[in-house]
Amino acid sequence: MRVLHVCSELYPLLKTGGLADVMGALPFAQKEEGTDARVLLPGYPAIFAGIPETYVVAEFFNFAGHILLRYGEYNGVGVYIIDAPHLYDRPGNPYHDQWYQDYTDNYKRFALLGWVGAELATGLDNWWHAEVVHSHDWHAGLTSAYLYNKGKPAKSVFTIHNLAYQGRFDYRHLYEIGLPAGMFHVDGLELYGEISYLKAGLYYSDAVTAVSPTYAKEITRPEFAYGLQGLLGTLEYQGRLHGILNGVDEKIWHPNNDPYITDHYKLKFMAGKKKNKEQLQAHFNLPLNPNVPVFVMITRLTEQKGVDLLLETTDEIVKQGGQLIVLGSGAQHFEQGLWGLTQYYPQNVAVKIGYDEALSHLMVAGGDVILVPSRFEPCGLTQLYGLKYGTLPLVRATGGLADTVVDSTSENIKAGIATGFVFEHADPQGLRYALNNAFALWQKQRLWVNVRANAMAQDFSWALAARSYQTLYDRI
């Protein structure tokens, strides 16, 4: 089957969030499973730098001007690149300028992405036609609208990575991007009087996926739907909305071959985890004590991620003798709050503001518990890394967190299915309850080791996700 992924980021060439991680793994996993998967990307400087050898497969003029379509390969997967310097040859972030102002021509930049995605199903490349066009997030949302307008020459799938970003633009741009006025309707592109590229992906696709089963259910409710609960509820009723969990790229995230840590380990040989813990404590100048649990958190410092809940419950970690290490950046008041904790509890709390890829790997490898107390989380990746590394996730029961972590109740421990700690309500009391459960299990090291073994035995590989997507493609 020939599948085209239409997207705006690809790890490690260009990344602003989790979308890039998915695109840097899913097409490659599908290729290994036998799917002829290719990727379409805008021609940002970082993309051309990472794929320097390309050749032109098409040249055309349309609403976006004079465009070349180039083709190359990255790690064995075919990649189409839209060569349009007047739209994409800009330094830094692909969506906004250095003052965080969205580019005023984003409507055209990403309409072109969708247009080319649809044309690759109808002969833009004479040698390869997509049978399924799989678009990702609002940047690629118009792909399905263009396919619909062309009589649906290929099946279409749209994946929601973050429903909060909807790609909304003024109605007056509709005539500029080659779509008929009749599609600007509540049953179409229109959302609150504007064009919504995200809604186009939802409405016109043959199937819509969210990045976890629980998130697929949550987004049909008003508190998670950002005004789209009616449409999403209809998609659910029609059987067009599906939840497929993201995976872990084990070439990058596995304790036995992690390129960022020196002391590797695996389920049957755990000595390396103790060494990583010692290195982590030394790095942050915390007491080198193997007998205290180390809680780690790697995150954007926002309310969504539950940072305020952590600030209100850190005293529980300190009171019971634990250590807390946080890596991240974000809202200034959260950064200041965390710095304050390091001053108040210098023997128990350490913080690094910013991001450090190598340090994040050491934290996952050296920690005992990884904290993900999010208010909402479409899928989440850090809890999956924690499971893989035997760093038990402590999470709130939402989205992909609820789908991937089993609470360490006595019943679940006896059944051999416990893998971490889960709390229900996004408040300090809920997080404090889960912290207490973690300390209680830590006091029973035999049970802790059993739960850790359960966690490390979980399989969240991209091969599983690739097979799930293939089943969906076959169905449509």
Give, as one character, the DSSP assignment of residue 212: S
Residue 405: give its domain's CATH number.
3.40.50.2000
Query: How many angstroms separate the CA atoms of 62 and 178, rounded?
Result: 9
Q: What range defines the domain where residue 180 resides?
A: 2-247+463-475
The CA dihedral of 210, 102, 51, 6, to the nearest 10 degrees, is: 30
d(CA 458, CA 384): 9
Mean pLDDT over residues 15-43, rounded? 94
Co-location of 222 and 203 in the same domain: yes
Q: Tell me which residue of 355, 396, 354 sits closest to 377, measured CA to CA.
A: 396
Does 310 share its domain with 437? yes
Which residues make up each annotated binding site for ADP-alpha-D-glucose?
Answer: 15
- What's the pLDDT at 99? 85
Per residue in 190-208, pLDDT (tens digit) is 999 999 999 999 999 999 9
Residue 187 in any domain: the answer is yes
Q: Which residue has the tokens 């029961």?
A: 397
Binding residues: 15
Q: Helix, strand, or coil here: 161?
A: coil
Q: Is the pLDDT of residue 18 over 90?
A: no
Q: How far is CA 366 from the centre of its chain?
A: 23
Query: Is 471 in the same domain as 449?
Result: no
- Report pTM: 0.89
pLDDT surpassing 90 at residue 252 = no
Considering the domain architecture, whether residues 422 and 286 belong to the same structural domain is answered as yes
Q: What pLDDT is stored for residue 164 in this prediction?
A: 86
pLDDT tens by residue, 64-86: 999 999 999 999 999 999 999 99
Task: Check: CB of residue 56 under 8 Å from CB of residue 84.
Answer: no
Q: Do the beta carbons of residue 146 and residue 112 sit within 8 Å? A: no
Give the Cα separation of 310 and 138 in Å (integer): 32
Question: Taking 90 as the threshold, does the pLDDT of residue 97 lie above it?
Answer: no
What total number of domains does the chain contain?
2
Query: What are 260-318's pLDDT values in tens digits?
Result: 999 999 999 999 999 999 999 999 999 999 999 999 999 989 999 999 999 999 999 99
Q: Is residue 260 part of a domain?
A: no
Residues 243 and 326 in one domain: no
Same domain, 165 and 293: no
Nearest to 194 by CA among 219, 163, 227: 227
Instruction: Examine the domain organization and report whether 312 and 214 are in the same domain.
Output: no
What would the two tokens of residue 402 be?
């609820």
Q: What is the pLDDT of residue 364?
A: 98
Q: Is residue 264 in some structural domain?
A: no
